Amino acid sequence: MAKEDYYELLGVQKGVTAEEMKKAYRKKAVQFHPDKNPGNKEAEEMFKKVSHAYEVLSDPDKRAAYDRYGAGAFEGGGGAGPRGPAGGAGGFHDPFDIFREVFGQQGGGGGGGGIFDEMFGGGGGGRDGGRDGADLRYDLEITLEEAAKGVEKEISFRKAMACERCDGSGAEPGSKKITCSTCRGAGQIRRSGGIITFTQTCPTCGGAGVKVEKPCTACRGDGRVAKNTKLNVRIPPGVDTGSRLRSSGNGEAGQAGGNPGDLYIVLSVKEHEIFERQGEDLFCEIPIKFTLATLGGTIDVPTLNGKASLKIPAATPSGTTFRLRSKGMPSLRGGHQGDQLVRVQVEVPQSLTSEQRKILEEFARVSGDAAEPTSRSFFEKAKKFF
Ligand SMILES: [Zn+2]
Ligand SMILES: [Zn+2]
């Protein structure tokens, strides 16, 4: 499901008049109508999307709500917005494909499937005559340490919640529900565009067939009001940038008995000063003295769990990579831990005291022309150039 804007679907600008929008809709509806495109799934899909977009935008209240929540319904934490009320497209940017990509790359290393699979099921339209609430997205940035150990975070955001005054019904307490005059209670209306007739969900009552006699004064008949809310979310160890968590039922409230939407938490892991993540492994580069590289010894290496010691054998060339088993990131599915890879960079002294210089000059003198194996083989090959 790609990012889709209702206005874009209809091919109009945001400030378009109702009349112009109707025209644009007619044109699209005729273009994609199933009768004109028999067996064409894409056209059928477009027809549904366009109809749904028009259904929302042709209703002044719904259009206002769409304009208002279409982007940035959350304070902080990045952009968020509702998906279409019937599971269609809307301000929910960033398709699910991104998630799959991220986990696809990790392949056998871990990540594919597992606990996140269930996220992609379900969704869908209103049940029981009501409208399901929109799904929401919250972008959350965490540190590498938090991603390694898991963390609980409190997030706060704004969303449409059931109105307390009318208990979500949209009707002013004491008032009755009356049959919708637009569809005469059918919930659907027939539209005719020249030779074509088709039915669509009634835009006045949203398919319920009834509407309230007197709209609730607190929510103006919507049944919901936008409120700030807080939620504790548990981030499991092993997540990576692009991981999504679904918090079921914590999206926007449904209307007229519809189910609430879901909240998707999309994670990004901050860059770390020392470690670079490579799947489940962590990579770092550590400078060592040329004397240590030559003579061998032990160094302290930072890990996500404090210090570890690493034995450097004598005669270690610069660029050698050592592996610290199970000091990397945990697998999202559990049971496995990546490694930490340490590449040593042999440092050349940048300034020498006169004593150091004397000793090194002496070292050079006693070494004479004796060369190490790598230079020997190099100069063998390079002979013809000299
Ligand atoms: Zn209300
Ligand atoms: Zn109706």
Q: What percent of the chain has pLDDT over 90?
A: 44
Question: What is the distance in A from the centroid of ligand 2 to the CA of 210?
Answer: 6
CA 97 to chain centre: 10
Question: What is the distance in A from the centroid of ligand 1 to the CA of 173?
Answer: 9
> For the residues 269-291, what does the mean pLDDT come to?
96
**Is the model more confident about 127 or about 165?**
165
Break the chain into its structural domains and give their ranges.
276-372
Question: What is the distance in A from the centroid of ligand 2 to the CA of 184?
Answer: 6
Among the bound ligands, the one closest to the CA of 180: 2
Range with top average pLDDT, 106-115, 166-175, 367-376: 166-175
pLDDT exceeds 70 at position 61: yes
- Which CATH code, of 2.130.10.10, 3.90.550.10, 2.60.260.20, 3.40.640.10, is assigned to 276-372? 2.60.260.20
pLDDT exceeds 70 at position 313: yes
pLDDT exceeds 80 at position 290: yes
Nearest Cα neighbor of 28 from 6, 51, 1 is: 51
Among the bound ligands, the one closest to the CA of 211: 2
Alpha helix segments (H runs only) across the chain: 6-10, 18-32, 41-57, 60-69, 97-106, 144-149, 290-295, 354-367, 373-382
Task: List pLDDT tens digits, range 236-256.
Answer: 999 999 999 999 999 999 887
pLDDT of 271: 96
Average pLDDT score, the chain: 80
Helix axes 41-57, 18-32, angle to 10 degrees: 160
Question: What is the distance in A from the centroid of ligand 1 to the CA of 133?
Answer: 16
pLDDT of 209: 85
What order do you get walking across the sheet with 263-269 strand by strand? 136-142, 263-269, 244-247
Question: What is the distance in A from the centroid of ligand 1 to the CA of 218?
Answer: 5
Reported as a pLDDT band with limits 50, 70 and 90, residue 191 is: confident
pLDDT exceeds 80 at position 261: yes
> For the residues 37-63, what does the mean pLDDT come to?
83
